Amino acid sequence: MAKAKWQKILRYPDGSESVVIRGDKTLLELIQEKPSGRWDPEYWHPYYEQVFSTARSDLVAKPLADLLETPIIAPDHVRASKDERIGRRYSCEYRTLKDLLFTGLEYVEINYCSDNAYQRLRRSQMMVGDILFAGSGVGAIGRVGIVEAVSPKSCVGDLFIIRNPRVNPHYLYVYLLTEFGQSQVRRIFHGIQSAKISTTEIGLIRVLVPDDRIQRSVAAEYKNMSVYHDKAMEAKKNGDQRKYEKNIQIAEKMLKDLIARTEAVIRGERDDVI
């Protein structure tokens, strides 16, 4: 008997393997799965639901789109066909995937674009609290960055902008880096053909929202970490590679620890991240 195309052996980071045969979904349910039909077996792997089953029962998961005052801003980019240019001689900051460092945005090796590009892309002028989200590229989808400071003129290339959330933006940023957030990004990615996801699909990411006290604690801990990110950027600007590496390593360790503590709070294993 031929193997069904929704049957597959899956291998996961912990070394485990499993055969996925979804018998609990009819063909009609597969077709009607939103935002589009899902036929890739990895999309249906029970792991993705199991992640959420570990969350505290009092936390309600809400679609990201329902938590935003402003609709997600779709990406665009500088277009040579429109005589738009990138170069150091221009004055508008042009933020792209390379600026999404793990611990914060790049502030030294920045691209700039021509004024005509800025005028066309000015809807993506960055604002403090914006979350930049990579929605395309193998190995890049799901990378995020949060804007802490802005220049008078800036625009974003090939990155989604998540703006004006009704939750603390630093909590949302850290949440998207947790396994609760990243597992959903991987699931979406496995359910589509090309290496990109859409505005609608990002908006469907479920966000577990704890009380304001915990959100503020996550934000405070993130800002403690960002002090070392800023020190690393300053060292990089001054050409001090040793000091850069020392501070960026501290920042990375602090952020990884914050992500782990946030996951523990969501699972109910801790009362707070502090």
What the block records as the tokens of 261 is 């503590």
The CATH H-level superfamily of 36-209 is DNA methylase specificity domains (3.90.220.20)
| DSSP label of 6 | T
Per-residue pLDDT, averaged over 24-48, amounts to 57
**Upstream peptide bond of 41 is cis (omega within 30 degrees of 0):** no
* Ramachandran angles phi, psi of 104, nearest 5°: 155, -175
What the block records as the tokens of 171 is 């909590």
Contacts of 75 (CB under 8 A, 6+ apart): 124, 135, 136, 156, 157, 158, 159, 160
What pTM was computed for the model?
A: 0.83
pLDDT of residue 26: 57
More confident residue, 13 or 145: 145
Taking only the tens place, the pLDDT of each residue in 171-225 is: 999 999 999 999 988 887 754 555 678 899 999 999 999 999 999 999 999 999 9
Average per-residue pLDDT in the chain?
87
pLDDT of residue 112: 97
Per-residue pLDDT, averaged over 226-230, amounts to 98
Percent of the chain scoring above 70 in pLDDT:
81
User: What letter represents residue 157's amino acid?
Assistant: G
Domain assignments of the chain as residue spans, ordered by start: 36-209
Say if CB 155 and CB 93 are below 8 A apart.
yes
**pLDDT at residue 5 tops 50:** no
Taking only the tens place, the pLDDT of each residue in 112-122 is: 999 999 999 99
pLDDT of residue 42: 61
pLDDT of residue 197: 85
